[in-house]
Each structure stands twice: as structure tokens, then as C-alpha cells.
Structure 1
């Protein structure tokens, strides 16, 4: 049923040049923000089917208004516990009324029926499941979202970036148009997940879908060699940190969760100067309330979270990088 943490991880091939999406000139340089809208759970504890509280959604309306004041629409990647909670759905419906934000699907296998697999770290990556079980869970999630919001979701994200060899085909068969399960230049193979080290930030076509990776930017004097250097440095104790401190190569993900603002602002500048046309940012909805994620533990962390977004929005505006809605991305890619 699973590929197990001890077996060879799924390694999707990098896109061919012909697969890369050429954004129209009129699209400009844009950015998109994806929010993993999900239940709260203890990130350090074993996976539990009982951890399905969505109390943090009470903070979503105020957070949504704050993003709206920055001119940032949210693409909300909603998982099963949220999609089946009427109060949480009502919160999201109000946000969707702006005509710019959107809802997509996010699969957390351990809290999405049918529950035919044993709980394990490897099985928390949906792509490790037998194709029939992965399909059944995608169907349950898609049905819940369609019932909640009156339309089928078009965008998908595998929770924990748990893409597998069957995932894209299953999504295509179900009418999805965009996947954002790839985290560029990251490797989860050691814990049973996929290995994305050979995949960069560029959007591309994959078996009929648009693949939009979560952006990772290398900065530093040797940033052109960043993916290779980072991979080699992981073989040494504290190797990646040493590369960053020496100013040689620093891997920066575009998220407020454990990514310092100074490094992210520089990464944005490097990416835009390097010609990247679409930057993707991401965060988890439970981070909106202190104590639910390792990234926002108290009120001071929450203040830093919002200061991070204020600084990022300001820098993007200075660089003339505009926000993009999910509809605009789908239309431009077509």
C-alpha cells in the first residue's frame, strides 16, 4: 500500500523546455499567495484521525481583511476537516465574495476518508497510498468541497507536498487544472516523501495539468550553483547553514513560517532580477492563532508574522510585482 520511508522516494522528472509555460507579456511579473486552510494538530505528535479541530478559523475573517488591505487575494487550499465544518465553510464563503480569492483542495490523508490505511509517517504522504485509495480520498475531498462551495475545485495541493506517481493522472481525470504540490528544490525522501531537488520554480505542463511549484530562491555569491551546493552540504553537519553564513548559497522559501524577513526580501529581489515571472508564497491557516504551529507560538510571533507580510507587500509593490488571482493564472497559462 505504501512505498515506505525505507524505499526509493518518488522523484518526478524536471520539465522539458517545451513543457514550460510562457507567460504572456501582458501578464507582467506577478505573485500568488496560497493558504493551507486546515485543522489544528500537534506537529510534534504522531498523526491522529481525532485531531480535527478548526477553532483557528475564527481568526480567518480578520486575517482575510488584512490581506485584502494589502491588495493580496488568497487561494485557500482547503482540507477535509475544514470543508465539512459548516462554521468554517461559512467563514470562507464570506471571503470568496470578493471575487478575487479562491478555494482549492488540500489532501491530508490521515483525516480524509476512507480510512483503509494504517497511520504512519509514510502514509501521511497521499502519493504513497495505493492509487485506488488515493483516488477515493481525492473523491471524498472533492465532493465535500463541491457540496460546501457549489463548484468543483480546480487547484490541488497534496498535504506535506505528498505527491506520488499516480497523483497527477488522478487529478486530470477529475477535472483539476492546476497542481501546486511540488516544493521546488526540497527533498522529503528521508522521511518517506517525494524528492523535488531537480525541480525549480518555473510553472510547467505535466500530463495535462499546470504544475505551479512553491517558490524556492537561492541567494549568495554562488547562487547559480545553489541546488548542487545545497545538496552536497546536506551530507555534512550544519552544512547548509555554513553555506548561508559564508554568503555562498542560501536556500530561501517564500513563507513567513521560519523564513527571516531580511533573507526573503533579498530573495524576492534576486528572483525578480533573474526574470522569474510568477512567485508563489504560502502559509498555514492555524498560524493565524498563537500556539497551533511551531512558527507562531505566542503573541510576539504573531506580530512578527504580520510585520513579515507588511514588509513583503511593500517590497513587491516597489518592484512593480502585482498580485495574481487563481483565475488570472489559469487564463494566462492557457
Structure 2
């Protein structure tokens, strides 16, 4: 369970002004963490820079730290206090010159270490925008896990020229240092978001206009989420019998509080997302599927 944890948004993912954090105080502390605790699940909260700069948010995560994993999440448009841009559709991480990306990631990592007194293990790029320099920078900064790859997705329509993961593996792998969507020899482990192709995705012209199946409680039904998980388990076991199967569900903390994202315009819609998440957690508990942190995956695969 990997949760991109950010400041409050609204329609079009525009940041609220003045900046607010009900998605942490209500979303994480009062809604998400009690649900995870009830299913003995260990989520990973990937924290954006503005979360790490807010002392009240940091206090929340210090209180929760023993029952979750904390990692980092870079949305470059508000990575530095003097560079806030309210338009969340600005530059992808991959679009920065390497020296700029390195400075932003170093700043983010330093914020985390100063807040929690330890090195973060896991990272996800905002809008999944991992680029050609990202893997090397993250390795130099001491990260063990990267989780930005979204198999079967091409983000060109979102303005990310060249950002496509159409042939990326769906199970963890060592990525190519320059092309994170391909296997290679990097030291860091890529843990992709669990996404399954639909039959229609293979059809020319039509397929690219239909989203594949995400392990994400934002939309769909509880039954469809479980089918994605079961299909991924079956395929992974067929390809690599005996290797642990890793499922990586993702969503945003702001999705499960009304009016803080484009996905929940009412309490009923927010509760619907929470209900689907709860159903997925209940399925995992029944089936003996452990919910672990992203940073735990390298050790699990090494056993």
C-alpha cells in the first residue's frame, strides 16, 4: 500500500491556497491509519516536500512511524519554499536538467532526515515522472526502492513527452539506469505499481484510449480490485514459480477526504474509496497476503 502524501488539492489537482493539510490530519490520522491498523497492514506514506516542511504534519507521522513506513515523493513545483507554483500540472521530474533534479532530490531527502533522523528507503516521482538521471541520483542519495513505473501506461497525453512504460515488468526488477521502465543492472530496486492490461489494450487505435486495470481503490468495485490482485498473482507465479509475488496498490491521501481531490466531491464518494480499500485489505488478510512497506521488498526477495 503506497500512498502519495501531499497537501490538499481540489478540482484539476490545483493546490489549495492558503496551503492546507486536512488530507493528513483527517485523511491519514483519522481515516487511513485506523483502517490499516484494523487489518494489521503496514502502509508506506511517500511524503512530499511541503508535508515535511510543516511541523504539525511531521508530528503526525512521528506518532505513526512505528506502524508504517515513511518515504519521499517529489512534486517539483513545490519542492522549495521560494518556488511554489499552484498549478500542479507543471514540470515532470524527468524534465529537469540533471543538476536541478539532483538538487531537488537532495533537498527533499535532507528534509526527511532532519524530520525523522533516518534515511528514507523508498521514493516515487510526482506524476510518475522518473527520468534518465533519476536512478543514479537516488542511488547516490542512499535509496533502496524506486516506485514510479506504471506498466502499460503512456503518459504522453499528460504532457510527458517520452514517458512511457508500455513494456515495463509488473513485478520488481533492477532497472536500467537510464531507462527505468526496462530491466537493467541498477542497484536500486524498482517496485512498479500493479497494473494489468485489458484485452482491448492490445487493439490498434482503440486500445490506447482505454486505461488498463490498476490496483487502485479510487474507482471501480471491490470485486474488480481483487480480480486485478488475483490475476497478477497467477501470472507472476506462472512466469517465476517460487518467487514471492509483490502487489503494489497506490492512491493519494487526499482522495479519501471530500473536496480535497478530483476523485471525491462528497463524503459518500470518499467513503466509497475507503470501502474499496477496506475490502482489498480484508481480502489480503483472508488470503494470508502480508501488507509490508516498500522498503521491506528487497529483503523479502533476497530470502
The two structures have a TM-score, normalised by structure 1, of: 0.77
| Residue of structure 1 aligned with 2:37, choices 45, 68, 77 | 68
Q: Could you say if the C-alpha distance between residues 298 and 97 of structure 1 is closer, same or farther in structure 2, counting changes exceeding 3 Å? A: same
Task: Kindly report the root-mean-square deviation, in angstroms, between the aligned alpha carbons of the 2 structures.
Answer: 2.5
Query: For the structure 1 residues 167 and 119, does the alpha-carbon distance in structure 2 shift closer, same or farther, using more than 3 Å as the test?
Result: farther
State which drifts further: 116-125 or 265-274: 116-125
Between the aligned partners of 2:23 and 2:222, the Cα distance in structure 1 is 24
Residues 265-274 or 85-94, more deviating = 265-274
Structure 2 equivalent of residue 233 of structure 1: 206
Partner in structure 1 of residue 65 of structure 2: 96
Kept in 2: contact 1:257–1:283 (CA 8 A) = yes
Contact map agreement 1:114 1:133 (CA 8 A) in 2: no
2:44 corresponds to 1:78: no
Asked if residue 303 in structure 1 is aligned to residue 277 in structure 2, the reply is: no
Counterpart of 1:316 (choices 269, 284, 302) is 284
Alignment equivalent of 1:260, drawn from 221, 228, 245 = 221
Query: Where does residue 179 of structure 1 map in the other structure?
Result: 146
Q: Does residue 44 of structure 1 match 2:12?
A: yes
Q: Which has the higher contact order (CA 8 A, sep 6+)?
A: 1
Q: After TM superposition, give the deviation of residue 152 of structure 1 in Å.
A: 1.6
CA drift of 1:265 comes to 1.9
Q: Is the 8 A contact 2:155 2:164 kept in 1?
A: yes
Q: Once the 2 structures are TM-superposed, how far is the Cα of residue 51 of structure 1 from its aligned partner?
A: 6.2
Work out whether 1:284 is the aligned partner of 2:252.
Answer: yes
**Residue 321 of structure 1, CA deviation:** 2.0
CA-CA distance at 1:122 after TM superposition? 7.2
Greater per-residue strand proportion: 1
- Greater mean deviation of Cα atoms: 262-271 or 74-83: 262-271
Equivalent of residue 149 in structure 1, options 110, 113, 116: 116
Aligned partners of 1:124 and 1:160 also within 8 Å? no
Deviation at 1:259, TM superposition (A): 3.3
In 1, the alpha carbon distance for the partners of 2:19 and 2:71 equals 19
309-318 or 156-165, which deviates more: 309-318
Tell me what 1:15 maps to: none
Pairwise CA distance, 1:148: 0.6
CA drift of 1:141 comes to 0.6
Q: Deviations over 1:253-288 (max 9, x none)?
A: 011112332322222222222235111001111123
Question: Using a 3 Å threshold, how does the CA distance of structure 1 residues 117 and 50 change in structure 2: closer, same or farther?
Answer: closer
Per-residue Cα deviation, 1:204-249 (whole angstroms, up to 9, x for no partner): 0122210010010235xx4xxx6533x64246xxx53xxxxxxxxx
Which residue does the alignment assign to 1:214?
Answer: 193
User: 2:165 aligned with 1:196, yes or no?
Assistant: yes
Decide whether the 8 Å contact of 2:48 with 2:73 is kept in 1: yes
Work out the CA distance in 2 between the residues paired with 1:317 and 1:124: 39
1:72 is displaced (CA, Å) by 1.3
Q: Where does structure 2 lack aligned partners over 5 or more consecutive residues?
A: 176-185, 238-244
| Per-residue deviation, 1:332 | 2.1
Residues in 1 aligned to 2:149 and 2:90: alpha-carbon distance in whole angstroms = 18
Using the size of structure 2 for normalisation, the TM-score is: 0.84
Larger Rg over CA atoms: 1
> What number of residue pairs does the alignment pair up?
281
By how many angstroms is 1:118 displaced?
8.6
**Structure 1 SS opposite 2:113:** helix
Q: Tell whether the 8 Å contact from 1:39 to 1:51 is kept in structure 2 after alignment.
A: no
Relative to structure 1, is the Cα distance of residues 81 and 157 closer, same or farther in structure 2, using a 3 angstrom cutoff?
same
